[in-house]
Amino acid sequence: AVFLRFCEGVRIPSKNLGMVQLILLATQRYLIEDIFWGLSQGWHDFVILKARQLGASTALWVLDLFWLLRFPGMQGMYIADDEPNKEIHRDIISEMYKSLPRRFSRGPFRANNRLETTWHDTPAWFSSRLQWAFASKRNEGQLARSRGINYVHGTEMDSWTDRKGVAALTASLADEHPHRLYLWEGTGQGYNLLYQMWEQAGHSVTSRQIFLGFWRLPSYAIEREQRALWDAYGAPRPTPEEAEWGAEVRKRYGVTVTRQQLAWWRWKLAEGKGINGDQAVMLGEYPWLPEHAFQSSGSA
């Protein structure tokens, strides 16, 4: 409830409307509720596998701010896949912070640079800190060395190339702090580090899997009123393969994929730029099931 009130004060960069007040999408609400439920059950480590453009990154950016402002003295680390993304995400999160009303804000930054972001809490050592990093071969094996970390947000993990760094990072993580929280998220994109972490979490007693299929977002749908699109992609009955996928979604997650959502998926498969009917690419970007997300291609 406190987090939801915090969300009401945040303004975010929308790709369609510019800076707007945050109103959680169904996918964002599901993700946040699952994380908080997991925390209530004693989990502190979450591996998040998602389809594209579901708003998950935005929701987690808000959670990054909330967690470090809510609990003093946290030592957090935000890890992107490369330095340009790290800097872009830092700028977005910084602007989100500046949009906060006074009741949630800690005032001006004490430091906000390419290495860290922290605030003017009193005393200064009481303030939380978010350190900025990226996981690439350029700094191989150096993630979080000589640092103690109790909050992590690792993003775009499907593109991480520094596997040794993850081992170094793991050695730096707190395993007893009451407010420790570790979030690892990305899109499948092949048998990579995210795949290994996802599989590990599936057999773990301390990590929780969270899957966000394309069907979690109601707006990914073509309505019957969109006559041309519906006739092409909605009217044909589900294929045996599509029916099998839909049945498995119902069995595992209790969600029925509607004909409108199926029509949207078919349309994106047939006409999506760069997809061009390639089912493996489409499943990797917009999976029905977790195993769909990890598609191997012949490219280097």
Q: Which residues of the chain register pLDDT less than 50?
A: 300
Main-chain dihedrals φ then ψ at residue 94, nearest 5 degrees: -65, -40
Residue 50: predicted pLDDT: 95
pLDDT at 140: 55
pLDDT tens digit sequence for 11-59? 887 766 667 888 999 999 999 999 999 999 999 999 999 999 899 999 9
- State the DSSP H helix or E strand holding residue 253, giving kind and residue range, or none if neither: helix 240-253
Find how far residue 106's CA is from the centre of its chain. 25
Write down the pLDDT at residue 147: 64
What the block records as the tokens of 257 is 């994929």
- Counting Cβ atoms within 10 Å, is residue 14 exposed (0-12), middle (13-18) or buried (19+)? middle
Q: In the prediction, which pLDDT does 74 show?
A: 92
70-106: string of b/e by CB count within 10 Å (b at 16+)? ebeebbbbbbbbeeeebeebbeebeebbebbeeebeb
Task: Determine the residue type at 162.
Answer: D
Name the one residue in this structure whose structure tokens are 């979490």: 201
Q: Are strands 116-119 and 109-112 parallel, antiparallel or unpaired?
A: antiparallel
Question: What is the rounded CA–CA span in Å between residue 3 and residue 40?
Answer: 14
Query: By percentage, how much of the chain surpasses pLDDT 90?
Result: 65
CA angle 94, 24, 18 (to 5 degrees): 50
